[in-house]
A = this chain, B = another copy of it.
Amino acid sequence: MKDTVPTITTGALPASRKLYVTGDTHDIRVPMREIVVTDEAPLTVYDSSGPYTDPAAEIDIASGLPETRGGWLQARGDVEEYEGREITDADNGFASGARLTPAFPVRRAPLRATGDRAVTQLAYARAGIVTPEMEFVAIRENEGRTEAYLRDGEAFGAELPDLVTPEFVRQEIAEGRAIIPANINHRELEPMIIGRNFKVKINANIGNSAVTSSMEEEVEKMVWAIRWGGDTVMDLSTGRNIHNIRDWIIRNSPVPIGTVPLYQALEKVNGIAEDLSWEVFRDTLIEQAEQGVDYFTIHAGVRLHMIPMTAKRVTGIVSRGGSIMAKWCLHHHRESFLYEHFDEICDICRRYDVSFSLGDGLRPGCISDANDEAQFAELHTLGELTKIAWAKDCQVMIEGPGHVPMHKIKANMEEQLKHCHEAPFYTLGPLTTDIAPGYDHITSAIGAAMIGWFGTAMLCYVTPKEHLGLPDRDDVKTGVITYKLAAHAADLAKGHPGAQRRDDALSRARFEFRWEDQFNLGLDPDTAREMHDETMPKEAHKVAHFCSMCGPKFCSMRISHDIRAAAEQREGMDAMAEKFRERGALYVPAGEEPAQ
């Protein structure tokens, strides 16, 4: 029997408290984080961390999070409970006995749309309905602002409003420019929006360990990733127990959960790609839709005729899903069942509101393969599939690369906007060089910040272990913080009307030697504090008007304060001197103006 000591990280971030902003129209409570700052108004920031950072929340992962959305769904009156698909041994990779992760204790009947209705946010938006989800994300995006803080930046055609209104959200969704991934069976969700005219978001990937993991461990991976800022989490688990683990994760997740259903389908056919079939895949989609997965990566853009285009590449096909489908296509010498049955996939997704993340199975895996024929051929197909999905009222985002040198990044965004009709772009990095294994969170943060600036709506994180091994807890945190800073740099450069508030608050703290505020306003207060304490551990140093780098004599900030005082005095003197010169000139006889 496994020890069930809870390992879930809870508690507020330093100097932070949870706020809930209520809706004007709907019964919603939108979570935000307020950072307390010395001698200034507190700073309210976006909060992806869910109830785990609310000291008032009772966390019991065996019960799951409160089903906040239950009432909203019921009120719409377009869904029905039903018995649901029977869970089979295959769903958990035939794990049994001690190796079987226990099922989530609360068994709940799944919901689906009545009839062949679309219960998607896109369908509602097109019908002119502002859902609670839409109002929720509108309030959330404004981070407590009531006006624009600054209008600056170059947005490359993105149009960020001063304040996001529920109606603006509705329009963006109706136009396909944004999605709210929100499966009707994920009632624990705190909705969030992915789109070019909103804050840039980040995704963190998690997956089960090779050794049997406890449910706590798996849930904790998600909790840890969102604590530091993960806006969505993809569960990329393979092998045993993935059904049960996914249940534990979704029931405890306030953020959208994405998956690649192909991974589980492949497990069901014992890892033989050729044995995959539409029937097995369809069964897996329904299984996961009933559990509440919010978005599916579907590699339907990998078409038979594109596969030879990858033969001359340096690194071939590097997407797992892409390579599995390519192998299937070649073996059967036909188009994939994903492509051929795409409309049926849409029919499933619209009944649960599972959003599409159309996978880039042919993304480049190295600098040399960037922006090649295969990559863009697939992108064009993803654009065609987008139209099919939209015709079925399904929400869509498009996955993008990968490995791309800086000068080829912009073309990716432009091609995507053009061929995918402004559906949100969701990229993995891109990595801007291949030569730094161990530092690929950084090689990719460069590309991520740039493509985010150009218009990518969500950035999939890369950890330091990319290409080398499985990320541990520290790697996940490093990846999340790195991507948060890249997304924020993108928001700043786009001219997001609220982004610079936090930079300015932190910089004021820095200039005024408010060390604690400087730590607390940063993305990772704990690490900042630890690093400071390594050199200047004493409490007294936290109020020191200098720091360990330069010491008091060389402290530019301290000297700047002196200068500011002196300059203000001088400004008065200069103004007087100027007046004197003006008056002097007035008394110079005509024709005798002084030389310059």
Contact = CB atoms under 8 A, between A and B. Distances in A.
B153 A407 contact: yes
B439 A503 contact: no
A504 interface: yes
A413 interface: no
| Copies of this chain per assembly | 2
Given A273-B559, A367-B503, A528 B567 contact: no
Given A330-B563, A439-B523, A468-B528, A318 B446 contact: no
Given A365-B507, A437-B518, A308 B446 contact: no
A233 B386 CA distance: 53
Nearest to A406: B493
Interface in A322-359: 322-324, 326-327, 330-331, 333
Interface stretch (A128-136, A249-257, A542-550): A542-550
A235 to B, nearest CB: 14
A317 interface: yes
Contact of A559 (B324, B551, B556): B324
Contacts of A568: 311
Nearest to A467: B510
Interface in A429-467: 432-439, 441-443, 445-446, 449-450, 453, 464-465, 467
A528 B433 contact: no
* Most chain B CB within a 10 A radius of its CB, from A437, A492, A521: A437
A406 B507 contact: no
A442 B449 CA distance: 11
Contacts of A550: 238, 320
26 contacts: A153-B407, A266-B554, A308-B571, A316-B556, A317-B556, A320-B550, A323-B555, A323-B559, A323-B563, A324-B554, A326-B559, A326-B560, A330-B563, A365-B511, A367-B504, A407-B495, A432-B449, A432-B489, A433-B503, A439-B523, A442-B485, A450-B450, A464-B531, A467-B547, A468-B535, A469-B531
Given A367-B507, A443-B489, A564 B316 contact: yes
Residue with the greatest number of chain B CB neighbours at <10 A, chosen from A273, A330, A519: A330
A57 interface: no
Given A311-B567, A560-B310, A368 B482 contact: no
Contacts of A551: 210, 238-239
A182 to B, nearest CB: 28
A562 interface: yes
A536 to B, nearest CB: 7
Contact of A310 (B330, B449, B567): B567
Contact of A446 (B449, B472, B563): B449
A271 B317 CA distance: 61
A263 to B, nearest CB: 7
